[in-house]
Structure 1
Amino acid sequence: MSKERPLSLITGASAGIGAAFARALAARGHDLVLTARRTDRLQALADDLQREHGTRCTVLTADLADPHAVEQLCQTLDQQDLHVDWLINNAGYGVPGRFDANDWQVHADFIRVLMTAPTELAWRLIHGMRKRGYGRIVNVASLAGHVPGSAGHTLYAASKAYLIKFSQSLALENLETGVNVSALCPGFTRSEFHDVTGTRPLVSKMPGFMWQNAEDVVEEGIRAVERGEAVHVTGRFNRTVKGLFKLMPDKLALRISAKQSRRYRAQE
């Protein structure tokens, strides 16, 4: 890198894994571009990081469901002469219920936020990374992308599987460029995610050993992308689950998924 302080762009930075990435990278000496829909939370986080680490934080409020949001975001970066070294594609959420129980616009927004926006951000920013000979892209996927889909939250696992395959291909294309790409695949993580989707009463029944803290997930993710690991599943338990499902016949895996869906997915 040609500068002492890398610049990291984090989407969905207002809470959960996104906020944990902001804190971890600020502690490592990064300046930050924080984006999400909730300006007040972003600004509060920016103020904390400025006070604790001297981090220069640029707050850019954006709704990634807007088809023009990514282009406008990158135009603002160019206007402010901000060159992104680390891209953390973290923004995401779940849509509870059956596929046909939601309006199409709900699904269209979901696809744009979880698939289209991270892909477009990577495309718009990777040119500069390659030119400078350094970059890191972390696409926050999920263990759900490695196991059979569930009944309810119909597009969630599909979107995460897409991010995994996209990350693998992008990593291979950039092996000799100084740009590392990694899909980070956590399992159950303590955050607001399940409160927003209304599944907290369901998932709270899951045993404690199945859960990780956002800070631990982020630490694994940073180490993985620095190593050039194209896909990283966090936590020993989650890696075991991935391995077991990989060995199972599809029929058995789907049967188990159907049973588990009733425990932690809102299906109506």
Structure 2
Amino acid sequence: MSRGDRRTVLITGASAGIGAALARVFAGHGWDLILTARREDPLRTLAAELSGMGAHATVIPEDLADPEAPRRLLAAIADCDLQVDGLVNNAGFSRTAGFLRTDPASHEAMIRVMLTAPVELARLFAPGMVERGHGRILNVASLAGQMPATGGDTLYGPIKSFLIKASQGLHLELRGTGVHVTALCPGYTLTEFHDVNGTRAEVSTAYPAWMWQTAEHVADVGYRAVETNRPKVTPGAMNNVLAGLAKHLPDAMALNMVGGHARRLKRI
């Protein structure tokens, strides 16, 4: 174990938003960190901040849309003589122009970053956690994964639904090993996510302020959930109500509900 009794967590998509907030929460609870994302400069800035909290943060820039990225991360971490005791699969993005208007390469990248890479990273690092009898795997999914898919952002919800189910299966498989697995399912969160996918103006006017949560709150909920080994957690009472409605409403009504959501965001 690195640095005496300190454990180390690998966080993907750590350059901003929920990923950066999770890095701060883990650091505040005595973890060292391995930070990865495409953008190196924000990672360096975050690493310096975490150092001020007493944590050691290693920066390894990587683009998980590249099929070789998980193996490169494994090799780079080994070269740094580090051990991964925790894994946070947080990297993600969406495309809201519609299935037929989105470049297939963008959809391929979405699947790589949010579905294939989390599975591969868990497969690479979970065996060591099991062998040592301790580990934490937190997969950042979404409320969208508990709802019918939204037109216009057609693949995002199904990808997140897969991540929830995969997390639950792995949670059951690793029960009793000391390795905790949790799917974190935030709803609307105040990050740069909507700026990147071009929906900031629409979502800011479509939903009231009380429906939004901060990245810091979501990160704290996620950390506490994986520590207590909850298979799934959805921050926010209203988000749990929406997830419950989607689960119990007839399909036609649930589809109409998310169809209205898509129209408010001018996606369809």
Structure 1 length normalisation: TM-score? 0.97
Q: Report what 1:196 is aligned to.
A: 196
Q: How far did residue 265 of structure 1 move?
A: 5.6
Q: RMSD of the TM alignment (CA)?
A: 1.2
Contact kept? 1:153, 1:265, Cα under 8 Å? no
Deviations 1:86-122 (A, max 9, x none): 1010000111111111121111111000101111000
Q: Report what 2:76 is aligned to.
A: 76
Q: Report what 1:233 is aligned to.
A: 234
Q: How does 1:88-99 map to 2 (within 5 A)?
A: 88-99=88-99
Q: How does 1:14-93 map to 2 (within 5 A)?
A: 14-51=15-52, 53-93=53-93
Contact kept? 1:150, 1:265, Cα under 8 Å? no
Q: Report what 1:134 is aligned to.
A: 134
The alpha-carbon distance between structure 1 residues 168 and 251, as it changes in their structure 2 partners (threshold 3 A), is same
Q: Report what 2:145 is aligned to.
A: 145
Structure 2 length normalisation: TM-score? 0.97
Mean alpha-carbon deviation: is it higher for 240-249 or for 119-128? 240-249
Is there any run of 5+ residues in structure 1 with no aligned partner, and where?
Answer: none
Give the number of equivalent residue pairs: 266
Q: How far did residue 259 of structure 1 move?
A: 1.1
Q: Distance in 2 between matches of 1:265 and 1:153?
A: 11
Contact kept? 1:151, 1:265, Cα under 8 Å? no
Letter in 1 for 2:48: D
Q: Distance in 1 between matches of 2:150 and 2:183?
A: 21
SS at match of 2:267: coil
Q: How does 1:174-189 map to 2 (within 5 A)?
A: 174-189=174-189
Moved over 6 A (4+): none
Mean alpha-carbon deviation: is it higher for 111-120 or for 1-10? 1-10
Q: Distance in 1 between matches of 2:265 and 2:70?
A: 32
Q: How far did residue 266 of structure 1 move?
A: 3.3
Q: Distance in 2 between matches of 1:36 and 1:71?
A: 15
Q: How far did residue 212 of structure 1 move?
A: 0.3
Letter in 2 for 1:100: L
Letter in 2 for 1:101: R
The alpha-carbon distance between structure 1 residues 257 and 97, as it changes in their structure 2 partners (threshold 3 A), is same
Q: Distance in 2 between matches of 1:265 and 1:112?
A: 27
Contact kept? 1:96, 1:265, Cα under 8 Å? no
Q: How far did residue 256 of structure 1 move?
A: 1.3
Deviations 1:145-168 (A, max 9, x none): 001111111110011000000000
Deviations 1:34-92 (A, max 9, x none): 000110000011011112x1211100000000110110000111122211111010000
Q: Distance in 2 between matches of 1:165 and 1:265?
A: 29
Deviations 1:225-255 (A, max 9, x none): 1111111111111011111221211111101
SS at match of 2:60: strand
Q: Report what 1:244 is aligned to.
A: 245
Contact kept? 1:141, 1:164, Cα under 8 Å? yes
Letter in 2 for 1:5: R
Letter in 1 for 2:54: G
Q: How far did residue 6 of structure 1 move?
A: 1.1
Q: Report what 1:220 is aligned to.
A: 221
Is residue 254 of structure 1 aligned with residue 247 of structure 2? no
